[in-house]
Structure 1
Amino acid sequence: MQDDDSTEDKTIPTNLRLLLLLEELAKAGVPTTPTAANEVLGLPKPTIHRLFHTLENEGFLQRDIDGRSYAPGARLRRLAGSVLSTSRIRMVRQTVLSTLAEDVGETCNIAMPERHTMVYLDRVETKWPLRIQLPVGTEVPFHCTASGKMYLSSLKSRLFNKYLSIATLDTQTEHTITDPDTLKAEVEAIRERGYSTDNEEFMKGMVAVAVPLLDAQNRLMSTLSIHAPTQRVTLDELKAHLPRLQAAATDLAELVMH
């Protein structure tokens, strides 16, 4: 029996197919079916399904809840984080973060969405002796952190409603939003204003503000946030730094895209 590769469109070299497929999935930004991805690639049907199967088996993709679509798997998400942590990018990123932390006088963080949590990718600590320890690699919930709620606000309504239907909104403090309707209203407000806050919702005595880092398609790549103990600053005082925070987010996003 003749292999389907012998009849494939040879305009896409074999060794580029997986990379181009991953590129299309990244551009889509949502769980994607083989059929939808192949509208761009134009490969024979058996080939595109074989590529998806290979990427799933190797951990680069994982099936979405609907059983038909695929989203980035753990291995691909780790790869994305590693690319963002390459020495040249990280050096400039640290410079931007350090300057921001110096200007606002508080700890600054970059966090990326993982499958079920936000993960701290980078941070620069405040010089104050009193600080909150959330080191690189820390995982924090979506529903009660500034970075997590910023991410939730970037989801399309269908995906956000799916999240609300299956998520457990655990109580972290007396201020944690645990009612789905209240969280939905909060996320809608974040979409409107373009930034999110954490008013002692994740950790008692900590406040935070976050803004998005956007890619070339204006989609959220990660978040930039500042947090501080309430013994030193109020949430309103942190919000006063929003223009500086948003300017730094623009600089960081341009760093990744160029």
Structure 2
Amino acid sequence: MSKAVTPGSGRASGGGGAGERAAGALDRGLAILTHVARHRGISTADIAQALGLTRSTAYRLVDRLQEQGWLAQAPATARWQLGPAAVRLASAAVASTTLRDAAAPALRKLGEVTQETVSLGVPNGLTMVFVHRERGTRPATVTAELGAARPLHSTSLGRAYLAALPQQKLEDTLIELVRDPLSPVTAATVSDLHAEIERTRERGWSQDLRDFDESSCCCGAAVHDHTGMPVACISVAGVAERMGPLIPAYGPLVAQVCRELSYDLGYLPPAS
């Protein structure tokens, strides 16, 4: 039986069979591709150091990946980035995956664990629109039909989306909210929303404690696609008296579900 390979070890942990050596090379090659995806514009020497490979092994594998089109050198820096073969594979994966189909099992699982109403929303202008829902076994206050819109500023779906935006896009969106005549966010109150977004980023999940609806509380998190942008958010909502004390426990759960779904959609978080 083949022994496991640790990508950073630079070699297989078992003996020297041809199949085992091939598996070891494959694991190291995949580790290189994953590392380049996370650290765009990296040298072969940096790859070797980060993954614990010898320089000769790193150069050999990188050359092979370049030959097959999995890696390419950036024109300006001659450092490595993903090549056309990786791009084609990613495009095929994206084309074969629809957000709602990919999210449905995760939503069902989250609903089973919390027994509360779990919703999937997507951004539409300055609102989030419900596109899928799993109703829990407990009494719920969420009555809006699919297709209904909710504001960005006062809901867990909206706050999760805002918190996941790149900083410049967030600032532009906040300006739009202030300028929108239908939005209650004003120049005097936008700083409060900004502070709530920062708290959301620090927690890793958003919350709405009777802010949108006096009878309900909810928490949420964002789903990212392969480009790194938030494309949807998931929330767990329930009757305020019951749900309020559970928010600190359910927030991390919905955040974990969103991380797993983002990974399935091709998202790799930036290196810390």
TM-score band, normalised by the shorter chain? 0.5 to 0.7
Conserved in 2, the CA contact under 8 Å of 1:101 and 1:124?
yes
Query: TM-score, normalised on structure 2?
Result: 0.54
Structure 2 equivalent of residue 84 of structure 1 = 99
Structure 2 equivalent of residue 232 of structure 1 = 242
Q: Give the superposition deviation at 1:192.
A: 2.4
Q: In structure 1, how many angstroms separate the alpha carbons of the residues matched to 2:255 and 2:224?
A: 11
Conserved in 2, the CA contact under 8 Å of 1:131 and 1:229?
yes
Does 1:112 pair with 2:122?
yes
> Cα–Cα, structure 1 residues 117 and 251, in superposed 2: closer, same or farther, change >3 Å?
same
Counting only pairs closer than 5 Å after superposition, residues 31-110 of structure 1 correspond to structure 2 as: 83-85=98-100, 90=101, 93-110=103-120
Q: Deviations 1:182-201 (Å, cap 9, x if unpaired)?
A: 11111122222221111111
Structure 2 equivalent of residue 219 of structure 1 = 229
Q: In structure 1, how many angstroms separate the alpha carbons of the residues matched to 2:253 and 2:220?
A: 12
Tell me the secondary structure at the aligned position of residue 218 of structure 2.
strand
Q: In structure 1, how many angstroms separate the alpha carbons of the residues matched to 2:160 and 2:219?
A: 9
Tell me the secondary structure at the aligned position of residue 119 of structure 1.
strand
Does 1:246 pair with 2:252?
no
> Cα–Cα, structure 1 residues 165 and 248, in superposed 2: closer, same or farther, change >3 Å?
closer
Give the gaps of 5 or more residues in structure 2.
Answer: 1-94, 268-272
Structure 2 equivalent of residue 13 of structure 1 = none
1:183 to 160, 174, 193: 193
Q: Give the superposition deviation at 1:170.
A: 4.5
> Cα–Cα, structure 1 residues 116 and 239, in superposed 2: closer, same or farther, change >3 Å?
same
Tell me the secondary structure at the aligned position of residue 235 of structure 2.
strand
Q: Give the superposition deviation at 1:95.
A: 2.6
Q: In structure 2, how many angstroms separate the alpha carbons of the residues matched to 1:184 and 1:130?
A: 29
Structure 1 equivalent of residue 28 of structure 2 = none
Q: Give the superposition deviation at 1:217.
A: 4.0
> Cα–Cα, structure 1 residues 84 and 180, in superposed 2: closer, same or farther, change >3 Å?
same
Moved over 6 A (4+): none
Tell me the secondary structure at the aligned position of residue 127 of structure 1.
coil
Q: In structure 2, how many angstroms separate the alpha carbons of the residues matched to 1:194 and 1:149?
A: 11
Structure 2 equivalent of residue 154 of structure 1 = 164
Q: Deviations 1:53-82 (Å, cap 9, x if unpaired)?
A: xxxxxxxxxxxxxxxxxxxxxxxxxxx9x9
Conserved in 1, the CA contact under 8 Å of 2:217 and 2:239?
yes
Q: Deviations 1:21-61 (Å, cap 9, x if unpaired)?
A: xxxxxxxxxxxxxxxxxxxxxxxxxxxxxxxxxxxxxxxxx
Conserved in 2, the CA contact under 8 Å of 1:123 and 1:135?
no
Conserved in 2, the CA contact under 8 Å of 1:207 and 1:229?
yes
Q: Deviations 1:140-197 (Å, cap 9, x if unpaired)?
A: 000000110111122333333333334257459xxxxx81111111112222222111
Q: Please, which moves more after superposition, 163-172 or 178-187?
A: 163-172
Pick the structure with greater CA Rg: 2
Q: In structure 1, how many angstroms separate the alpha carbons of the residues matched to 2:199 and 2:252?
A: 18
Conserved in 2, the CA contact under 8 Å of 1:106 and 1:227?
yes
Q: In structure 2, how many angstroms separate the alpha carbons of the residues matched to 1:187 and 1:130?
A: 26
Give the gaps of 5 or more residues in structure 1.
Answer: 1-79, 173-177
Q: Deviations 1:80-121 (Å, cap 9, x if unpaired)?
A: 9x9434xxxx2x532321121011110111111111211112
Does 1:195 pair with 2:205?
yes
Computed over aligned residues only, the root mean square deviation of the Cα atoms, in angstroms, reads 2.9
Structure 2 equivalent of residue 121 of structure 1 = 131
Tell me the secondary structure at the aligned position of residue 136 of structure 1.
coil
> Cα–Cα, structure 1 residues 184 and 250, in superposed 2: closer, same or farther, change >3 Å?
closer
Q: Which AA in structure 1 matches 2:146?
A: V
